[in-house]
Amino acid sequence: MELNLHGKTALVAASSQGLGFAIAERLVREGANVMISGREVEKLKQKACYLESIGLGKAAYQKTDITNAEDIKRLVNLTVETFGGIDMLVNNAGGPPAGSFEELTDEEWQDSFELNLLSYVRMTRAALPYLKHEGGKILNIASSSIKEPIPGLVLSNTFRTGIVGLSKTLATELAPYNILINTIAPGRIATDRVKHLDQVNADRQGIDREEIELQVKAGIPLKRYGTPEEFANFAVFLLSAANSYMTGSSFLVDGGMIKAI
Ligand SMILES: NC(=O)c1ccc[n+]([C@@H]2O[C@H](COP(=O)([O-])OP(=O)(O)OC[C@H]3O[C@@H](n4cnc5c(N)ncnc54)[C@H](OP(=O)(O)O)[C@@H]3O)[C@@H](O)[C@H]2O)c1
């Protein structure tokens, strides 16, 4: 299968660790140039150094708070200045706080809207002029909550489905430019975010995090969490030339966790 990523440029939002970083690494291993971003300069510097050390695609970084419109413009401009264009955009962000409807304030709703939905709108808008040049790919990272609401995560359940509506709409609006846009929905991929959520659930129930992990894994047909590398494999396929006919779709990477058809 020909991925054809050599020399292409990817901008990966929120990518100093976890799923975003795993996608960045896999892209670099395929010879793509990658701009990574996040809020901590030291972490970004180290990760970009590591990506460069792989010796295939090039890597650069930019400190970015994805909830800040000016930061987003700077990130897009720097990517174009550094690598000459943008062929792939990966929309990603940190996760919203856990909480049920009655626990959350207006401020937390507004913050999550800006982090988990508006940032995807702004990133897409800013990168669009460059993606239009020769066509390109947009990949949105969402959550299994787009298929089945997760108890205690009403912010994710609400805003991630917004990403799907946006993506489906853009699949039609951007098809004339040969821009393909898809959404990938992780179930339980072993990252700091999942550790954090398991700890929140453990604290609520007054048990150990390991106990929560066992309970969650019992409900996953493959009986384990996925690895960021497994997640990145599919993400990179969707971003590559090998995907030439999928757009406007949403895909679970969840070890079979979501039972809905
Ligand atoms: N892992 C899973 O199984 C899973 C399941 C469902 C949904 N998700 C969602 O997928 C997304 C990525 O998850 P993950 O597991 O990779 O999380 P993670 O390990 O916590 O990584 C989050 C990344 O986002 C960056 N980030 C957070 N807030 C940011 C901001 N305001 N501006 C710029 N960068 C920001 C973080 O860097 P800094 O903190 O340095 O900025 C970090 O690089 C999250 O939205 C998560 O809720 C993940």
Q: Is 201 in the pocket of ligand 1 (CB under 6 A)?
A: no
**93 Cα–ligand 1 center, Å:** 5
Q: Whose CA is nearest to atom 8 of ligand 1?
A: 143
Task: Tell me the pTM.
Answer: 0.98
State the Cα–Cα distance between residues 253 and 138, nearest whole angstrom: 17
State the Cα–Cα distance between residues 12 and 24, nearest whole angstrom: 7
Quote the pLDDT of residue 223.
Answer: 98
150: which 2 tokens? 């997760």
**94 Cα–ligand 1 center, Å:** 3
Q: Is 184 in the pocket of ligand 1 (CB under 6 A)?
A: no
Q: Which domains does the chain carry?
A: 9-187+231-253 (3.40.50.720), 190-225 (no CATH)
pLDDT in tens, the chain (261 residues): 999 999 999 999 999 999 999 999 999 999 999 999 999 999 999 999 999 999 899 999 999 999 999 999 999 999 999 999 999 999 999 999 999 999 999 999 999 999 999 999 999 999 999 999 999 999 999 999 999 999 999 999 999 999 999 999 999 999 999 999 999 999 999 999 999 999 999 999 999 999 999 999 999 999 999 999 999 999 999 999 999 999 999 999 999 999 998
